[in-house]
């Protein structure tokens, strides 16, 4: 793509691959630049696809990343269909083929849950399995050569400049959305298991709490506890989402940089092919580890929601 399109710079190529297909509303009076360099003024508020990164930014918070949402849904359906098919085919006989592979994943996740989550819940196990498989499938899209699917989408749509990212986890909206979902589940189960007052007590009475005879010290300790615990609580979804995004985004950028070498000359292109193969082999570990880490941290956070830290003072 870097060499077959009209002359574009390396910066243009990189920015094009890192821009999402964004659908949102542009206000009346907005000036849009057309592909031929001319400008047009919108007469009324218009919902449309962004033609540039600037337009995507101007669409604001309510804009949708269509490619991220589309691939997330498609890969979620792939996971659901494969595992549903395996569940229906399960028998008492030794598993073979797909069923054996699915059983291996289920047992592996189940063992991690047993070792990490020490409470009774019918929700955490399926949640962990869904997180691992879904995040892994989204990460796995990073191994598809960076130009293949975007080029196919541009050809089908008839727009050679179409933005089309295919790795949902390189979009912070996707990773933070999943992290915030885990955070909300953590708050829900914490309030359910300990009660709202118990949850508030954890935020205000830990880690420092004075004995009854020095009760007046708590007037100073409670604000400190609340600040420390609130920061610690809010840091969980931020670190969970940004860790996954940062690792996959960096990997995608490296693949894009390697793809640039294919348009230089034959020698550099062959070297780029070797580098792409080496990085893909290494990146398989990154893809697997990041899915595993996201799952384990989600289990740990759910365990913290079920844990009780009541102390006698």
Q: 10 Å Cβ neighbour count for 101? A: 13
Cα torsion 257, 263, 264, 266: sign: positive
Number of H helices, E strands in the chain: 9, 5
The alpha carbon of residue 174 and the mean position of all alpha carbons in its chain are separated, in whole angstroms, by 4
243, 265, 298, 308: which is the annotated catalytic residue?
A: 243
139, 218, 247, 298: which is the annotated catalytic residue?
A: 247
CB 165, CB 20: distance < 8 Å: yes
Q: Would residue 192 show up in a list of annotated catalytic residues for this protein?
A: no
Distance separating alpha carbons of residues 243 and 172, to the nearest angstrom? 10
Q: Would residue 239 show up in a list of annotated catalytic residues for this protein?
A: yes
Q: Would residue 243 show up in a list of annotated catalytic residues for this protein?
A: yes
Choose among 211, 232, 231: nearest CA to 221. Answer: 211
Choose among 160, 189, 138: nearest CA to 12. Answer: 160
Kindly list the distances between the CA atom of residue 92 and the CA atoms of 33, 89, 96, 136, in Å, as whole numbers in the listed order. 64, 10, 12, 29
Kindly list the distances between the CA atom of residue 28 and the CA atoms of 18, 39, 43, 65, 229, in Å, as whole numbers in the listed order. 28, 14, 5, 22, 45
Q: Which helix (H) or strand (E) holds 32?
A: strand 31-33
Distance separating alpha carbons of residues 82 and 122, to the nearest angstrom? 21
Cα torsion 239, 302, 142, 162: sign: negative
80, 110, 239, 308: which is the annotated catalytic residue?
A: 239
Active site residues: 239, 243, 247
């Amino acid at each position: 793509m870097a060499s077959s399109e009209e002359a574009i710079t390396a910066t243009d190529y990189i920015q094009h691959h890192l821009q999402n297909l964004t659908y949102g509303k542009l206000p009346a009076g907005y000036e849009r630049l057309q592909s031929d360099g001319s400008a047009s003024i919108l007469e009324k508020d218009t919902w449309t696809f962004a033609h540039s990164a600037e337009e995507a930014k101007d669409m604001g918070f309510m804009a949708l990343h269509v490619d991220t949402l589309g691939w997330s849904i498609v890969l979620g359906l792939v996971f659901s269909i494969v595992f549903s098919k395996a569940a229906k085919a399960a028998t008492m006989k030794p598993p073979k083929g797909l069923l054996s592979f699915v059983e291996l994943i289920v047992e592996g996740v189940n063992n991690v849950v047993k070792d990490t989550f020490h409470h009774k819940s019918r929700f955490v196990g399926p949640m962990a399995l869904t997180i691992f498989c879904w995040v892994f499938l989204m990460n796995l899209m990073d191994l598809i050569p960076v130009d293949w699917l975007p080029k196919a989408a541009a050809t089908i749509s008839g727009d050679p400049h179409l933005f089309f990212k295919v790795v949902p986890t390189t979009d912070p909206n996707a990773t933070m959305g999943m992290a915030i979902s885990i955070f909300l589940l953590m708050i829900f189960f914490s309030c359910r298991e300990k009660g709202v007052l118990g949850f508030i007590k954890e935020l205000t009475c830990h880690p420092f709490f004075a004995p009854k005879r020095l009760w007046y010290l708590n007037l100073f300790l409670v604000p400190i506890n609340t600040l420390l615990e609130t920061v610690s609580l809010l840091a969980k979804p931020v670190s969970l989402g940004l860790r996954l995004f940062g690792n996959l985004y960096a990997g995608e950028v490296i693949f894009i940089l390697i793809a640039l070498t294919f348009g230089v000359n034959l020698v550099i292109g062959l070297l780029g092919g070797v580098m792409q193969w080496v990085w893909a082999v290494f990146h398989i570990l990154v893809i697997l580890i990041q899915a595993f880490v996201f799952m384990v941290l989600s289990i740990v956070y759910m365990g913290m929601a079920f844990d009780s830290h009541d102390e006698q003072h």
